[in-house]
Amino acid sequence: MTNATDARYLKAEHAICDALARLLEDKPLDAISMSEIAREASVSRSTLYAHFQNVMEAYRATVARFYERTQDLAEHFSCTMCRNGQAVRPFCDRLRDAADCRGVVKDGHFLAAALDTHHATVSNTLVERLEAVGLDTDVAEAVFRFQMSGCYAVAVSECGRQGDWPRYQETLDRFIRGGLQALGVQM
């Protein structure tokens, strides 16, 4: 049995995720094979299959790596130095500056995988805060998905990529805060 904390194991897994991200720059996820990933990562197929059973598993792991440096919304709103090049950044900033995984972010599967990954890997303090003010879990989840989907749509749009992003982000943050405050959530 391979130890997931073994340096060689982790190095191979990172190489696989990096390779998939590079492949996604030029082709859609559905057109990528395990053999292509193995070649691009310079690992054997047996090594690849020791980590992932299929391309979608590798994709989900690559999205999870995106989240390793993504800040929760509640942390973002309480952070006073979020935009000063820190390693952990708000979701919208990570989307805009995702040079390490641009192909992953632009893939049509990204948003659904990102939302699922967020729940699996991040304590969702926004949903918890919404529940604390009396919203049931399904409604709190819907508000969370609405907020994340909107951030994604703006960050990857033409205005999000080329406009005055700090001004846009400040305005969007005020809009989100206002909506949350209207629901009784203090951020």
Specify the pLDDT at position 78.
59
For 74-101, how does the pLDDT look when each residue is reduced to its tens digit (9 = 90+)? 666 655 445 455 567 778 888 887 777 7
pTM of the model: 0.80
The predicted pLDDT at position 77 comes to 66
Q: In the prediction, which pLDDT does 96 show? A: 82
Which residues lie across from 70 on neighbouring strands? 89
For the chain, residues with pLDDT lower than 50 are 1, 80-81, 83
| pLDDT reported for residue 118 | 72
Q: What is the pLDDT of residue 52?
A: 97
Structural domains of the chain ordered from first start: 7-66 (1.10.357.10), 69-182 (no CATH)
User: What pLDDT is attached to residue 123?
Assistant: 59
